[in-house]
Amino acid sequence: MELTLTLNGKKMSRLIEPGILLLDFLRSEGCYSVKRGCETSNCGLCTVFLDDVPVLSCSLLAARAQGRRVTTLEGLRQEAEELAAFIAAQGAEQCGFCNPGFMMNAIALLREKAEPSVDEIRDYLAGNLCRCSGYEGQLRGILAFIEWRKSEKGGAAR
Amino acid sequence: MKIVNTSVPKKDALQLLTGQPVYTDDLAPKDCLIVRLLRSPYASAIVKSVNKKAALLIPDIEAVYTWEDLPADAKRFTLAGQTYPEPSPHDHLILDRRLRYVGDPVAIVAGRNEAAVEKALALIKVEYEVLEPLLDPTVAKDNKIIVHPEDDWEALCPVGADNKRNLCAHAESNAGDIEATLADCDIVLDRTYHTKAVQQCMMETYRTFCTIDTYGRLVITGATQVPFHVRRIVALALGIPKSKVRVIKPRIGGGFGAKQTCVSEVYPALVTWLTKKPSKIVFSRYECMTASSPRHETHMRVRLGAMKDGRIRGIDMYAVSNTGAYGDHGPTTVDLTGHKPITLYRTESYRFVADVVYTNNMPAGAYRGYGAPQGMFAVESAVNELAALLGMDAFLLREKNIIHEGDYLPSYYGETNTSCALDRCLARAKELSGWEEKGLCRKLQNGKVRALGMAMAMQGSAIPYLDVGGATLRLGDEGTYNLLIGASDMGTGCDTILAQIAAEVLECDLDAVSVFGVDTDASPYDSGSYASSTTYLTGQAVYQAAAELRRRLTLLAAKLLKCEADEIIFDGKKAAKIDGSGALTLAELAVASQAGNDVALDVTASTKSTASPPPFMVGVAEVDIDTETGEVRPVHYYGVVDCGTCINPNLAKVQTEGGIVQGIGMALSENVTYAPDGRVYENSLMQYKIPSRLDNGRLTVVFEPSYEKSGPFGAKSIGELVINTPGPAIAAAIANAVGARFYELPVTPEQVAMAAAARKKK
């Protein structure tokens, strides 16, 4: 079947197998940030945006993206780099394999709410598993990023 | 120190955080054959026949291999990534007629796409002779069912193995007369403990791709902690010369020991070697949970002898470690089960006896802590129970009995405790956690109970006399350096901390050191990243290589400035004559090194160690317990660590936090259980619950460093130590809340609720 969608801002049409998952389609299009960590929608590694809403691309047929906008971390480079610097400052990226899904969902949260509380951060990101960091460093990084964005310098930079 | 002991970001951090394609499956050629395995549905069976005709008729299927297709020279081998000759018995074939667990590979299918391979797997007809499985490790020794009856089974090292008795290993060690000591004690606590086969659950499952290079050699690229061992093991498995194999390690999505075993490499290696076409295998999470290499399930009996005044005089432990269907890491993991926890205490005598047994469970392997977490749970739980029996504070009991710096350690291979801040860790943990003010147990207004528990731990730093650390440092262009290593950064940050060590010695910026690793054709030999060896041992190699490169730089400068080397001072940026009559910048030296030069500015250093200096940790768990439902929620975990000098405090801290949370999982939610037919119940991340960020509470980690003279800049290891304390500390906290002890991990809500209910009845 023919799939027409906007991937990372670029409109495209592709012939696809009707059964292909969005995750596999995106990787076949070179969006390698999208990772598979399980087969049961438990890990959050494959999180992408469908019309700016975070979804698990492992649990969605590519066909569902018909006529819609799909964004992966490749399409959010600048926004990602801003937050990434704060996670890196904590050393909380560790192996990095869960990072893209975590970054996508963290960006979604921070777009939705500028200053989430600690509990809100943990709730929102509960579906993003990480086996390396123990989560605490990721939390410190997000909190530091929020502080920076609040500060005059950060406000100006945005 | 300018760069060592600072929290610089990891050199690869931004690449990883922005999702760059740097992992195995991102790099695999797009025309790779897809490799999948047909796996045994039975825990014990013999393959009588395989009919692969129908599968081979599928157009996109390239090959279907069974035990009949193995190369004639293929020999039994171990998948354990250990120095040769491996202590783990050689008990594997790539494909065997005898199947020893549910998931044991029966056939390898390679095809041009997933759909074809999937279809082929369903079309392979296998006739099995189903045998009765052996699933209980406590009756495995000398059982009538023998897991490895074959005559070509081989133990290369004297580890007390005997396949005809289901023994993968038998170990005994002791000091003093333990029976006499225990007979003379006021109290002898005699308890049995049980820990389960928990899973590493690295986010990137096992995966490997293989190609043939220009010279007809097999190139294996994959997620491994042990590239040099993979080279040897695959060569042996395929029956080809090791010189025909090259192994490359890109970024790895977590290891935790899982990737110290060659779980996935041999299958695509066989396919590519036979077809001469690129191939790859990517394990599903299901395979990762059912056919991998989890922690050894262990049963332990501990006898702890003490006097009424709290003096611990003797520890006796007997452990039965379940290695499952194969003996990967079996003989060596169990060693830590005894020696690590027992060594924490100054005793008059000790004894440790262990049997490592084969069963028809999933094979076990290496997982962070490598046997120590099991033993730490047993001994620390026994000491906590002793404190309660004596009516003595758990900290005070430790203070009376712990080892100190300078102590001779009979239960730790006769080593001397050269650096130890365990006493300071105890004091700091007590203060940090509010141990005395909070009390062991208090009722909350919401009806729950908040309780505290504590435990200590130690680990080692590298395997003495065996591990090899390697580093090559070379002067690059423009006065920068290349650091080539054979140790695998699996996310821990060793590329960065090794570069920090180099930059400190060479007095350059961290950015001036480019790190390369790992390629067995280009990297210096290194045993690999395991046994908490990288910082301590490879770090020493980097230190030595950097010091020698400095010396060579002054030699070159002396030649160019026409003076003696001892007339030159090198400050990292320039080499200057002491009398001020001439100087060359590092960039000028770099140019000169490539023109008419005969001083090699390329230094390789190899290191071994003669000791395995232990790092130490004290952990305090604060948990909320719902005595109605049995639910246990960690509220706060306090960790105080002595890993010597932190080369990078941030990375050491995150290692500790990650290890604590893995330990929390092992304590409360992570479980591997078997159906009566030998199937694993917890076969996905839905059933097997690793902690999410809602499950760990807050973490506070601080360091109380000692200084280990033999380590680089005083450093010891950190990676494994940190998983050890949550099991016993959380079990103790629950015990303090409900008044009953727990002898098995994980402690489930059912067990807690039943204990709380029983107490109410009284």
Residue whose structure tokens are 């004690």: B185
Report H helices in B358-455: 372-390, 394-401, 422-433, 435-438
Question: Looking at this predicted complex, what is its ipTM?
Answer: 0.97
Q: Cβ contact (<8 Å) for B205 and A135?
A: no
| Residue of B39, B103, B94 whose CA lies nearest to B289 | B103
Same domain, B247 and B103: yes
Sheet holding B312-324, edge to edge: B167-175, B349-358, B312-324, B297-306, B187-195, B744-745
Q: How far is B502 from chain A (nearest CA, A)?
A: 20
Same domain, B582 and B664: no
Domain span at residue B426 reads 297-461+612-761
Rounded Cα distance between B227 and B246, Å, is 9
Q: How far is B759 from chain A (nearest CA, A)?
A: 34
Report H helices in B405-525: 422-433, 435-438, 494-506
Residue B274 maps to a domain: yes
Across the interface, of A72, A132, A139, the residue whose CB is closest to B254 is: A132
Same domain, B601 and B629: no
Same domain, B703 and B684: yes
Rounded Cα distance between B108 and B65, Å, is 5
* Structure confidence by residue, pLDDT tens digits, B32-54: 999 999 999 999 999 999 999 99
Rounded Cα distance between B524 and A121, Å, is 44
b/e map of B208-222 (b: 16 or more CB within 10 Å)?
Answer: bbbbbeeeeebbbbb
- Range B664-669 average pLDDT: 98
Same domain, B457 and B474: no
Rounded Cα distance between B666 and B724, Å, is 10
What CATH number does residue B78 fall under?
3.90.1170.50
Rounded Cα distance between B678 and B9, Å, is 45
Q: Does any CB of chain A come closer than 8 Å to the CB of residue B583? A: no
CB of A65 closer than 8 Å to CB of A8: no
Ramachandran bin of B19, using left for φ above 0, alpha for ψ from -120 to 50, beta for the remaining angles: left
- Range B696-716 average pLDDT: 97
% pLDDT > 70, chain B: 100
Residue B639 maps to a domain: yes
**Residue of chain B whose Cα is closest to the Cα of A135:** B693
Helix axes of B726-738 and B372-390: crossing angle, nearest 10 degrees: 30
| Residue of A37, A68, A35, A63 whose CA lies nearest to A52 | A68
* Structure confidence by residue, pLDDT tens digits, A10-68: 999 999 999 999 999 999 999 999 999 999 999 999 999 999 999 999 999 999 999 99
Rounded Cα distance between A39 and B285, Å, is 7
Same domain, B428 and B495: no
Q: If you average pLDDT over every residue of chain B, what do you get? A: 97
Q: Which pLDDT score is estimated for A154?
A: 54
* Structure confidence by residue, pLDDT tens digits, B85-114: 999 999 999 999 999 999 999 999 999 999
* Structure confidence by residue, pLDDT tens digits, B326-372: 999 999 999 999 999 999 999 999 999 999 999 999 999 999 999 99
Query: Which of A132, A142, A143 is most worth mutating to test chain B (most B CB atoms within 10 A of its CB)?
Result: A132
Domain boundary residue among B554, B584, B607? B607
Residue B161 maps to a domain: no
| Residue of A76, A15, A132 whose CA lies nearest to B252 | A132
Residue B150 maps to a domain: no
Across the interface, of A33, A83, A94, the residue whose CB is closest to B658 is: A94
| Residue of B399, B413, B293 whose CA lies nearest to B343 | B413
DSSP per residue, B589-606:
HHHHTTSS--S--EEEEE
Rounded Cα distance between A22 and A1, Å, is 14
Q: Which tokens belong to B432?
A: 């940090």
Q: How far is B757 from chain A (nearest CA, A)?
A: 32
Q: Which tokens belong to B305?
A: 């002898």
Same domain, B593 and B554: yes
Same domain, B390 and B515: no
* Structure confidence by residue, pLDDT tens digits, B237-250: 999 999 999 999 99
CATH class (in words) of the domain with range A76-157 = mainly alpha
Q: Does any CB of chain A come closer than 8 Å to the CB of residue B659? A: yes
B466 Cβ contact partners less than 8 Å away, ≥ 6 residues apart: B83, B527, B608
Rounded Cα distance between B192 and B337, Å, is 14
Across the interface, of B9, B200, B256, the residue whose CB is closest to A88 is: B9
* Structure confidence by residue, pLDDT tens digits, B444-475: 999 999 999 999 999 999 999 999 999 999 99
* Structure confidence by residue, pLDDT tens digits, B151-201: 999 999 999 999 999 999 999 999 999 999 999 999 999 999 999 999 999
What CATH number does residue B524 fall under?
3.30.365.10
Name the band, by pLDDT with cuts 50, 70 and 90, for residue A153.
Answer: low
Residue B544 maps to a domain: yes
The CATH 1.10.150.120 domain(s) of chain A lie at 76-157
Between β-strands A10-15 and A2-7, what pairing exists: parallel, antiparallel or unpaired?
A: antiparallel
* Structure confidence by residue, pLDDT tens digits, B603-645: 999 999 999 999 999 999 999 999 999 999 999 999 999 999 9
Rounded Cα distance between B235 and A112, Å, is 54
* Structure confidence by residue, pLDDT tens digits, B368-417: 999 999 999 999 999 999 999 999 999 999 999 999 999 999 999 999 99
**Residue of chain A whose Cα is closest to the Cα of B368:** A132
Across the interface, of A43, A84, A92, the residue whose CB is closest to B654 is: A92
A2-74 — its CATH code?
A: 3.10.20.30
Same domain, B719 and B598: no
Same domain, B448 and B340: yes
Domain count for chain B, please give it: 3
CB of B748 closer than 8 Å to CB of B397: no
Same domain, B679 and B742: yes
Query: Which of B285, B287, B653, B657 is most worth mutating to test chain A (most A CB atoms within 10 A of its CB)?
Result: B657
Rounded Cα distance between B713 and B629, Å, is 50
Question: Contacts of residue B684 in chain A, CB cutoff 8 Å?
Answer: 38-40, 42
Q: Which tokens belong to B309?
A: 């005044």
Q: Cβ contact (<8 Å) for B653 and A37?
A: no
Would you say residue B496 has pLDDT above 90? Answer: yes
Q: Which tokens belong to B196?
A: 């389960």
Q: How far is B595 from chain A (nearest CA, A)?
A: 40
Name the band, by pLDDT with cuts 50, 70 and 90, for residue B762.
Answer: confident
| Beta bridge partner(s), residue B642 | B616
Would you say residue A158 has pLDDT above 60? Answer: no
Q: Which tokens belong to B687?
A: 């059933």
Q: Which pLDDT score is estimated for A152?
A: 65
* Structure confidence by residue, pLDDT tens digits, B209-227: 999 999 999 999 999 999 9
Would you say residue B523 has pLDDT above 60? Answer: yes
- Distance from chain centroid for Cα B64: 34
Would you say residue B668 has pLDDT above 80? Answer: yes
Peptide bond into B85 cis (omega under 30): yes
Question: Contacts of residue A87 in chain B, CB cutoff 8 Å?
Answer: 13, 17
Residue B144 maps to a domain: no
Same domain, B444 and B507: no
Domain boundary residue among B586, B607, B628? B607
Question: Contacts of residue A91 in chain B, CB cutoff 8 Å?
Answer: 7, 9-10, 13, 493, 648, 650-651, 653-654
Q: Cβ contact (<8 Å) for B13 and A91?
A: yes
